[in-house]
Chains A and B, each alone.
Chain A
Amino acid sequence: MLIQNTFDKICGLTDITYLFKDGMSIMFGGFGGIGTPPGLVNLILDSGIKELTLIGNDTGFPDIGIGKIVTEKRAKKIIVSHIGSNPNAGKYMTSGELEVEFSPQGTLVERMRAGGMGLGGILTDIGLEEEIVNSDKQTVTLAGKSFLVETALTADVSIVYAKKADPYGNLIFDKSARNTNPLAAMAGKITIVEAAEIVPLGTLDPEEVVTPGVFIDHIVESKGVDWQWVWE
């Protein structure tokens, strides 16, 4: 079916290569590589950019998801909740090649959401007494309760994966591959979605749209994953 590019958002990978630069911050959707856009990960690798700050749930596996970029030593800093499934991340952290900021998972994703929602940060009591979380952070007392101030997260570019996108960028996701994608989608200064399927405007039921297209700048069609899942 011919899809009209009504909003000029649908493009090829070569059309958006110019967006990727050394030293930039990139937020990514996905959880253990599931729901991380494979074509955009490869585009970042092929573009040769380095010194990146990566923001997302975890570092995937060595050859899966964002893990590929970490493995290739393209990141100088990562803001994540978990690196356990990617031994390379731990190795580079120990050798001093990679700066790692750990954020508790629920706090991390709420910081991403706050960034996308135009907020300055969030208040939470998670990690209030744990040094790895509370060091160098402000605490506030509200109605007699203490909270940590956790800053919002945004990024120069967000990359997300969706099941379907229409030409405006309205998105629906695929089962548990939704995970952090709707949050990353909102928090990028520029957001690129890689969709398994691009559908004509008007074919997504407005009630089922998870991410409104206004958050999306560029839409590319996915060719699927080029990695093998851990359970395969």
Chain B
Amino acid sequence: MGLGVEVRHKIARRAAMEIKDGMLVNLGIGIPSLVPDHLPADHTIMFHAENGIVGMGKSPDLGKEDAHLCNAGGYPVTLQVGASYCDSTAAFGMIRKGLVDVTILGALQVSESGDLANWIVPGKRVPGMGGAMELAAKAKKVIVLMNHREKTGSSKLVKNCTLPQTAKECVHMVITEMGVFSVLADGLLLTDLFAPFTIDDIKKYTEASFQVSDTLTVYRE
């Protein structure tokens, strides 16, 4: 929402750095779906889809769509080499058992202890949690990609979530257009800064308290 294409890709590129060969990765809709664009062509990462695909590939060329080969959002995809299909229980068994190494998803709010709220705005938008609770609670690493602030200007990195939580203390990393935060046992740590934003900008626009890493990485355009 409101982020330009370049900024969205900047966030996706940073998220891609967290993925290593051999991992099983689940990507949410929106900016997370841009992450594969920033992986090396010869990667050996497998993509997981809740509707029963391990080894989900890119969108097909126009005219090559197969209505029975789609992602969890209902849009056509292709397969990676070595892919398999399974039913929905197996797709979620993989998640609950901790076999999904990384999940990259969007959020409405993240708290300074890593609580995630990403599925319901009571009285406004009640779409249902889908598979968000399992992914948030059980993926080995949960990376949130989101706007730093609401359209109204309020911080989405909060002290405590005011929206119903998807899962408690589950988020490991948050990447916004301003910077990258790691969620540690003693709170948030700003590890990366996207110039031209400054630490002061982030302090001004962030409700949650955070520390700044001694080895802060600054990305310049």
Please tell me if the beta carbons of B137 and A84 are within 8 angstroms of each other in the complex.
no
Residues of B near A182 (CB, < 8 A) are: 87
Please tell me if the beta carbons of A110 and B164 are within 8 angstroms of each other in the complex.
no
With A and B bound together, what is the CA distance between A187 and B185 in angstroms? 44
Please tell me if the beta carbons of A178 and B52 are within 8 angstroms of each other in the complex.
yes
A214 at the A/B interface (Cβ < 8 Å)?
Answer: no
With A126-B96, A231-B76 in contact, do A57 and B126 touch (Cβ < 8 Å)? no
Q: Closest approach, in angstroms, between the C-beta of A76 and any C-beta of chain B? A: 18
With A and B bound together, what is the CA distance between A14 and B169 in angstroms? 54
Please tell me if the beta carbons of A183 and B89 are within 8 angstroms of each other in the complex.
yes
With A and B bound together, what is the CA distance between A189 and B128 in angstroms? 27
Q: Closest approach, in angstroms, between the C-beta of A180 and any C-beta of chain B? A: 5
Please tell me if the beta carbons of A178 and B85 are within 8 angstroms of each other in the complex.
yes
With A and B bound together, what is the CA distance between A174 and B69 in angstroms? 8
Number of contacting residues on B, CB 8 A? 44
With A and B bound together, what is the CA distance between A57 and B68 in angstroms? 16
B3 at the A/B interface (Cβ < 8 Å)?
Answer: no
Please tell me if the beta carbons of B130 and A176 are within 8 angstroms of each other in the complex.
no
Residues of B near A34 (CB, < 8 A) are: 51, 67-68, 70, 74
Q: Closest approach, in angstroms, between the C-beta of B29 and any C-beta of chain A? A: 10
Please tell me if the beta carbons of A176 and B87 are within 8 angstroms of each other in the complex.
no
Please tell me if the beta carbons of B130 and A109 are within 8 angstroms of each other in the complex.
no
Q: CB < 8 Å: which of A183, A225, A231 contacts B87?
A: A183
Please tell me if the beta carbons of A231 and B65 are within 8 angstroms of each other in the complex.
yes
Please tell me if the beta carbons of A106 and B127 are within 8 angstroms of each other in the complex.
no
A129 at the A/B interface (Cβ < 8 Å)?
Answer: yes
Most chain B C-beta atoms within 10 Å of own C-beta, residue among A35, A85, A173, A231 = A231
Q: Closest approach, in angstroms, between the C-beta of A213 and any C-beta of chain B? A: 17
Q: Write out, one digit per residue, whether chain B residues 18-50 have a CB within 8 A of any chain A CB (1) or not (0).
A: 000000000000000000000000000000011
B168 at the A/B interface (Cβ < 8 Å)?
Answer: yes
With A and B bound together, what is the CA distance between A182 and B88 in angstroms? 9
B102 at the A/B interface (Cβ < 8 Å)?
Answer: no
B101 at the A/B interface (Cβ < 8 Å)?
Answer: no
Residues of chain B in range 161-180 having any CB-CB distance to chain A below 8 Å: 164-168
Q: CB < 8 Å: which of A31, A33, A84 contacts B88?
A: A31
Q: Closest approach, in angstroms, between the C-beta of B14 and any C-beta of chain A? A: 27
Query: Which A residues fall within an 8 A CB radius of B?
Result: 31-35, 57-58, 61, 80-85, 90, 93, 100, 102, 104-107, 109-110, 113, 124-127, 129-133, 173-183, 210, 225, 229-232
Q: Which are the 6 A-B pairs with shortest beta-carbon distances?
A: A84-B127, A106-B92, A32-B74, A82-B128, A177-B68, A105-B131
Query: Which B residues fall within an 8 A CB radius of A?
Result: 49-53, 65-76, 85-89, 91-93, 95-96, 120, 126-134, 137-138, 164-168
**8 additional A-B residue pairs with CB within 8 Å, beyond A34-B74, A182-B87:** A34-B67, A106-B92, A110-B89, A179-B51, A179-B88, A183-B89, A210-B87, A232-B65
Instruction: List 19 A-B pairs, Cβ < 8 Å.
Output: A32-B74, A80-B128, A81-B128, A93-B126, A102-B129, A104-B134, A105-B88, A105-B131, A106-B91, A106-B93, A106-B134, A107-B134, A109-B89, A130-B133, A130-B166, A173-B85, A177-B67, A177-B68, A183-B87
